[in-house]
Amino acid sequence: QVQLVESGGGLVQAGASLRLSCAASGRTSSSRAMGWFRQPPGKDREFVAVINWSGGSTYYADSVKGRFTLSRDDAKNTVYLQMNSLKPEDTAVYCCAARPGLDGSIHETSFDYWGQGTQVTVSS
């Protein structure tokens, strides 16, 4: 089992920044990558970004590329999502998820453990 706990969400104005954290505990050795997904109000969940624990390679959705940055702290088993230049359309519940494979998949079915999520609201 892997437990994931997100933090760092909040209410900000457009153009502001937020940093989300995802702390992993438990059997973290089973996880090869950590992803972030978001679910805007009334919409389906969508992929945001993913980072591999080994090597730190990252991949971003086009909608956040250039504005969001992933990083990791191996000692703390924590992944960070730095979100800059936030837009109202970034408003969503953001969840982190653990992926056991290194296959590069960004589909949510490839991720087997999920956090509860943290709300990000961006006002115009």
What's the confidence (pLDDT) of residue 86? Answer: 98
For residue 76, report the phi and psi dihedrals to the nearest 5 degrees. -100, 0
CB 35 within 8 A of CB 44: no
Q: In angstroms, rounded to a whole number, what is the distance separating the alpha carbons of residues 80 and 73? A: 8
Q: What's the maximum distance between 2 C-alpha atoms anywhere in the chain?
A: 41
Per-10-residue mean pLDDT of the chain, 124 residues long, equals 95 98 89 94 97 90 97 93 98 96 88 96 97
Tell me the percentage of the chain whose pLDDT exceeds 90.
Answer: 85
What's the confidence (pLDDT) of residue 55? Answer: 81
Residue 84, C-beta contacts closer than 8 angstroms, at least 6 positions apart: 17, 67, 68, 69
What's the confidence (pLDDT) of residue 56? Answer: 85
